[in-house]
Amino acid sequence: MICCHATTHAFKNILASLPKPGGGEYGKFYSLPALNDPRIDKLPYSIRILLESAIRNCDNLKVTKNDVEKIIDWENTSPKLVEIPFKPARCILMDNTGVPAVVDLAAMRDMMAKLGCDPYKINPLIPVDAVIDHAVRVDVVRSHDALDKNMELEFDRNKERFGFLKWASTAFHNMQVFPPGSGTVHQVNLEYLAQVVFNTDGIMYPDSVVGTDSHTTMINSLGVAGWGVGGIEAVVAMLGQPMGMVLPGVVGFKLSGKLRDGVTATDLVLTITEMLRKHGAVGKFVEFYGVGVGELSLPARATIANMSPEYGATMGFFPVDHVTLDYLKLTGRSNDNVSMIEAYLRANNMFVVRHEPHTERVYSSYLKLDLTDVEPSISGPKRPHDRVPLKEMKSDWHACLDSRVGFKNFAVPREYQDKVVKFDFQGQPAEIKHGSVVLAAICSSTNTSNPSVIVGAGLVAKKACELGLEVKPWVKTSLTPGSVVAREYLKHSHLQDYLNQQGFHLAAFGCATCVGNSGDLDESVSTAITENDIVAVAVLSANRNFEGRVHPLTRANYLASPPLVVAYALAGTVDIDFEKEPIGVGKGNKKVYLRDIWPTTEEIEQVVKSNMLPHMFTQTYESIMKCNQRWNELRVPEVALYPWDPSSTYIRKPPYFKGMAMSPPGPPMVKEAYCLLNLGDSITTDHISYSGSILVDSPAAKYLLASGVDQKKFSSYGGRRGNTEVVVRGAFTNMRIVNKLMNGKVGTKTVHVPTGEELYVFDAAMKYKSKGHDMVIISGAEYGSGSSRDSAAKGPMLLGVKAVIAKSFERIHRSNLVGMGIIPLCFNAGEDADSLGLNGHERYTIHLPTSIGEIHPGQDVTVTTDNGRSFTCILCLDTELELAYFNHGGILPYIIRNLAGPKN
């Protein structure tokens, strides 16, 4: 056996040269074929990327030869949930979730200086790109200068946050920041940043990335292994620490056939999401294969990969093929670079040639779908995996109104279901009823990577204009694409003119309506909804529609393709059968049906081919850094340690290192804790850490008002995540939370058990803390699903929550809880709070061993209550590395102690 030494690499014997066709060499690479191991030929392509990374980073300390063997033997080891280290090639930060990560880095640098250690050890060791993909609040709509006015408002509101990131780009090595208005982080990653194959110091290796947004997975469409992590884990990756992970199972998803005319990639991804949620993909990779993959464009693949979190997978992976290479050329990558990428991937058995024979890969489980079976669909009204075939939408909507309140239902009494509310809208008569669309947004999430559906929306708008249909003025409409390039091809094709006529003016490049920043509805519309308890609807081309996320007044929210967003905006209601009922009455008093304005696939492809050109990508990205005047005029201090402003309401030095000792504290004790909230299934990070507007009577609003902030400048919870005072007050402020302690009431309050008072969650937690009481949270299945925001773990930790006891956790959130020192416990299979007779009024003691050596990942833990109940839970720590974090009170103290001195 070859041992790893400081000067001798364990796998130096497989380091091979990659020749150029005309002579010379591209560089050297660690050759998987040179291992001459038949097990590798059967590995999924996604696992081969993990294998190459382990081989290249093998130092027999953080990555060992035994780790490499585990991955090679994946077919046998993955069912055993073995632990492996993974070191990604780079890290990408999204503004809203990236700012807290950079705040943590800055605070860690301060702590290192305080300890008398070199603060420059807190410096990214891998390339880090931060895109100011801020959640633009869509205040200006139906205006030709909406984009410029919204950007002006955003700079006025968020100048301090933007300045902080600009400071970081000069204070930290290896970090570049893309200014506001560059597009979403995922689009910039897809169109510009992704390398696919790196060639660094003469060594070639596959691109891989972790990002502080769960939809980092969009990059899987390019054959790049990447997934979302919380900002806490991102800090670990940036500082060169290996990420401990369980070697995942891989679902092989075979695609055949071809999408029928008029069926969109959105319809396909909603179908795939439904299938994978039923199959079970949480914590797994999904790898797409089969001849049907070759029929999908790269943007269609990106649509599918983007929604990996919605179907629960860590990745939705598409290995590189000729479609990938063509997209790289389209988006401005040089021919020489693309040739190098292809040569490397072919040489290392990571390139797919669709019609050549190859060794059949082995997967953990299998699914298949004939693309010809996919039909037009939307999803909702409260969850992304609740797909509804378009032809069944009218009947499904009535079922939603009829049935008792749940994930699909609203329990509106029959006698009120047809109620029509008439009101005055800016001097003209208007009316809404249950099912009326009041918000229609073509937004930056899943779909705007795909020019076909954006062009499709433009063609629907064009045909509607020509036939005399118009969107009602009280429907709030917006267009916020993720790619700046979308502006270019919509302008070049003249389709933007027709979108403008229907109210879909370009309002921003970045997240907006999809994360709750839709802005206010007109006051007359809001009043009509609230005073009459109307179940109003938002239709948006996003990937998430959880309760309270999109807008507090739209109780029903449906995900749809951009063309369908325009169609529903024209119809003004979801209570319609598009096959049988007209969308409206057009010129000559003629009824217009959906089929009259729906473009064919051929029409869309022709417009895309004629108007989406390579120079649009190269010129756009060349100008992004140079032409943003507001960004370029920002002046920031050029210092290594951030000059914290104690009066700032945006950027505050976090308290995570307050009172920190150099010795780890050991396992936390939880004794006689009160239950802060008793929750049900599918509690999302939007419930836990709301990202939308700050309501005027909330604890966060009271804090901001006391700090001298005018209500008009409250911004949003998402925009203020760099301030822990807002993070802690924003925990559990989603007005759609159902807390069993509140006897089924929906809202942001809980019961302070000792006194029986109904208080805001923050106020109740502070009352517990003032008496020195621990707190726990009880929940159902899929706790923490949704966005990978670390504030959903930081908020509860700052409240004083010591443990979460749930039926199951979503992958990223469970990891974030561990990272913040909160104990994740799972009820045993078949048990939950209800079956155990727990109502949340008990006091809970968690009987963990007092010695770290007696604690093991996945072990049983006994929990007792003050009324004599006792039950067993599973300790949801996955790896020995997580156990180390647990011992240190979280990831951040662990890193500080390891960088500051001898390993503890």
Domain boundaries, the chain: 90-373, 377-616, 670-689+731-900
Least confident of 239-248, 251-260, 321-330, 369-378: 239-248
- Comparing C-alpha atoms, which of 730, 747, 705, 704 is closest to residue 793? 730
Query: Around 542, how many Cα atoms within 13 Å sit in the side-chain half-sphere?
Result: 34
**How many C-beta neighbours within 10 Å does residue 47 have?**
27
- Distant-in-sequence, close-in-space partners of 850: CB < 8 Å, separation ≥ 6: 666, 667, 669
Least confident of 63-72, 95-104, 484-493, 790-799: 95-104
Q: What is the largest CA-CA distance in the chain?
A: 84
| pLDDT on residue 136 | 65
**What is the mean pLDDT of the segment spanning 309-327?**
95
- Distant-in-sequence, close-in-space partners of 163: CB < 8 Å, separation ≥ 6: 634, 635, 636
Task: Write out the two tokens for 65.
Answer: 């030869």
The SS3 call for residue 486 is: helix
> What phi and psi, each to the nearest 5 degrees, are found at residue 826?
-110, 135
| pLDDT on residue 825 | 97
831-849 burial, b if ≥16 CB within 10 A, otherwise e? ebbeeeebebbbbbbbebe
Angle between helices 485-492 and 614-624 (to 10 degrees): 130
Of the segments 2-6, 179-183, 842-846, 851-855, which one has the largest average pLDDT value?
Answer: 842-846
- Comparing C-alpha atoms, which of 184, 181, 185, 136 is closest to residue 630? 181
| pLDDT on residue 449 | 65
The CA distance from 404 to 413, in Å, is 10
Angle between helices 891-900 and 811-819 (to 10 degrees): 50
| pLDDT on residue 2 | 34
Q: What is the pLDDT of residues 800-837, one digit of tens each?
A: 999 999 999 987 789 889 999 999 999 999 999 999 99
> In the 8-state DSSP scheme, what is residue 868?
S
**What is the mean pLDDT of the segment spanning 459-468?**
98
The CA distance from 48 to 55, in Å, is 10
For the chain, report the end-to-end CA distance as a whole number of angstroms: 30
- Comparing C-alpha atoms, which of 109, 111, 58, 104 is closest to residue 85? 58
- Distant-in-sequence, close-in-space partners of 17: CB < 8 Å, separation ≥ 6: 25, 27, 28
The CA distance from 744 to 757, in Å, is 16
Helix (H) / strand (E) element for 130: namely strand 128-131
Q: Is the pLDDT of residue 659 over 90?
A: no
Q: What is the pLDDT of residues 519-535, one digit of tens each?
A: 789 999 999 999 999 99
- Per CATH, the number for 377-616 is 3.30.499.10
Write the single-letter amino acid at 710: D
| pLDDT on residue 735 | 85
**How many C-beta neighbours within 10 Å does residue 581 have?**
15
**pTM for the predicted model, two decimal places:** 0.86
Task: Write out the two tokens for 528.
Answer: 């009509």
| pLDDT on residue 446 | 60
Classify domain 670-689+731-900 at the CATH class level: alpha beta
Q: What is the pLDDT of residues 590-635, one digit of tens each?
A: 999 999 999 999 999 999 999 999 999 999 998 887 878 888 889 9
> Does residue 469 contact residue 432 with C-beta atoms inside 8 Å?
no
Kindly write down the DSSP assignment for every residue of 562-620, as one continuous string: HHHHHHHHHH-BS---TTTS-SEE-GGG-EE-HHHHPPPHHHHHHHHHHH--HHHHHHH
- Distant-in-sequence, close-in-space partners of 291: CB < 8 Å, separation ≥ 6: 255, 256, 354, 355
Least confident of 163-172, 272-281, 351-360: 351-360
> Does residue 774 contact residue 800 with C-beta atoms inside 8 Å?
yes
**How many C-beta neighbours within 10 Å does residue 61 have?**
10
Q: Is the pLDDT of residue 72 over 80?
A: yes
Q: What is the pLDDT of residues 776-794, one digit of tens each?
A: 999 999 999 877 678 999 9
**What is the mean pLDDT of the segment spanning 253-279?**
95
Classify domain 90-373 at the CATH class level: alpha beta
Query: Around 138, how many Cα atoms within 13 Å sit in the side-chain half-sphere?
Result: 34
| pLDDT on residue 250 | 98
| pLDDT on residue 1 | 29
Prior bond to 21 cis, omega within 30?
no
Beta bridge partners, 777, equal 677, 804
Task: Write out the two tokens for 438.
Answer: 């009041």
| pLDDT on residue 903 | 45
- Comparing C-alpha atoms, which of 786, 833, 785, 830 is closest to residue 809? 785
| pLDDT on residue 882 | 87
The CA distance from 893 to 220, in Å, is 32
Q: Are domains 90-373 and 377-616 of this chain identical in fold? A: yes
Q: What is the pLDDT of residues 378-425, one digit of tens each?
A: 999 998 889 999 999 999 999 999 877 777 888 899 999 999 999 999
Least confident of 230-244, 282-296, 414-428, 488-502: 230-244
Helix (H) / strand (E) element for 276: namely helix 265-279
User: Helix H segments across 172-264?
Assistant: 185-188, 231-238
- Comparing C-alpha atoms, which of 532, 593, 540 is closest to residue 569? 540
Q: What is the pLDDT of residues 477-493, one digit of tens each?
A: 999 888 889 999 999 99
- Structure confidence at residue 745 as a pLDDT band (50, 70, 90): confident
